[in-house]
Amino acid sequence: MRVLTAEERAFVQAQRVAHLSTSSAEGVPAVVPVCFVYHDDCFYSPLDEKPKSVDVMNLRRVRNIADNPKVALVVDRYTEDWEELGYLTVRGAASLVVPGEAEHLAAVAALRQKYSQYRTMSIHERPLIRIVPAKASRWGTLLPEERRSLDLPALMRGRRSVRQYTPQPVLPEHVEAILEAGRWAPSPHGRQPWRFVVLTREERKRRLADAMAEGWTRHLEMDNQSSEIIVIRLSKGRQRLIDAPVAVILCLYLADLDRYPDAARQEAEATMAIQSLGAAAQNMLLTAHSLGLDGGWMCAPLFCPAVVCEALGLNPDLIPHALLTFGYAAADPKRRDRLTVEELTELYD
């Protein structure tokens, strides 16, 4: 059972240091600051290479855990604006995960992704402390003020379409929140005629980009683009997909729609499904922006849906329509001017 809420998970993932409290069999407490990662609903803290006067297995916190596995972990954020103070206390059971286990390998990878210093340290050769949460309590503010203060109009005006991202990973909790937002989009008869395909591994993103490249090239040639321009645009399009930390393909799924005896109404039903897919995309983009992320919308799958399904091994009943990318912008994109309300409104009676 998951103990931490989505907001609490996002909070702990954003912090760099926690304080681990252990106690001996006699009840003597010990508190030490630790680096940590929250992964697969557990906390992991390494016994790293910083100079120590004793063997890691003889550290007080390790000996205490052996005697009494009940621990507390405090993750806090301090700021001079005391209205923004917040902390989370997690109580649970601690144990050691030894090298060689699949769990150990996964946790080490997560730690190295969070802390660049661990990428050159041999934490893979040492045990990790694992804390399985049993209870969590919070105080103060977990979300920073700049995220809480964004109302819907500010979110809509602040969102921008991004083409280049930094390598910084997107928290799994944020991906989950984006998908949850898409789930609540309005849809015809409440049927939710769309499915989401989430890509985070470079191998899959590269496979998809390679599969769509032939279609991109053919379309550019039909537009009488020069070979030099085709190479440049193809390269930029591929990197836009491959470099995005997260890509979400929105696919139409028409199997559950109402059925009509005439083609006109059936076509209208499919159009309603496409309209609702756009609503799901907007929900996702606005939610990403509210979480401090950037997003972009690529229409490439719409022009080669069968290619996308084959490249990713998807159900052939899915019809890929849109590809949303998420991450942190590497540069501020240019903002296009918008038509005024007067220019967009044909009749106001």
In the chain, domain spans? 6-145, 150-327
Torsional sign, CA 212, 213, 219, 220: positive
Architecture of domain 6-145: Roll (2.30)
Torsion of CA 257, 267, 180, 242, to 10 degrees: 130
For residue 31, give every residue at least 6 positions away whose Cβ sits within 8 Å of its Cβ, in sequence order, or none.
Answer: 19, 20, 21, 22
| Digitized pLDDT (tens) for each residue of the chain, 349 residues in all | 678 887 788 788 888 999 999 999 999 999 999 999 998 899 999 997 765 567 888 899 999 999 999 999 999 988 888 888 999 999 999 999 999 999 999 999 989 888 888 988 989 999 999 999 999 999 988 876 555 555 677 778 888 899 888 888 898 889 999 999 999 999 998 999 999 999 999 999 999 999 988 877 877 778 888 888 878 888 888 889 999 999 999 999 999 888 999 999 999 999 999 999 999 999 999 999 888 889 999 999 999 999 999 999 999 999 999 999 999 888 777 777 888 999 999 989 8
Helices marked H in 195-262: 202-222, 227-242
Based on the number of CB atoms within 10 Å of its own CB, is 91 exposed (0-12), middle (13-18) or buried (19 or more)? Answer: middle
pTM of the full predicted structure? 0.60
Measured CA to CA, the distance from residue 165 to residue 162 in angstroms comes to 7
**Phi/psi at 282 (5° precision):** -65, -40
Measured CA to CA, the distance from residue 223 to residue 67 in angstroms comes to 72
For residue 126, give every residue at least 6 positions away whose Cβ sits within 8 Å of its Cβ, in sequence order, or none.
Answer: 46, 47, 48, 56, 99
Instruction: Please tell us whether the domain made up of 150-327 is placed in CATH 3.40.109.10.
Output: yes
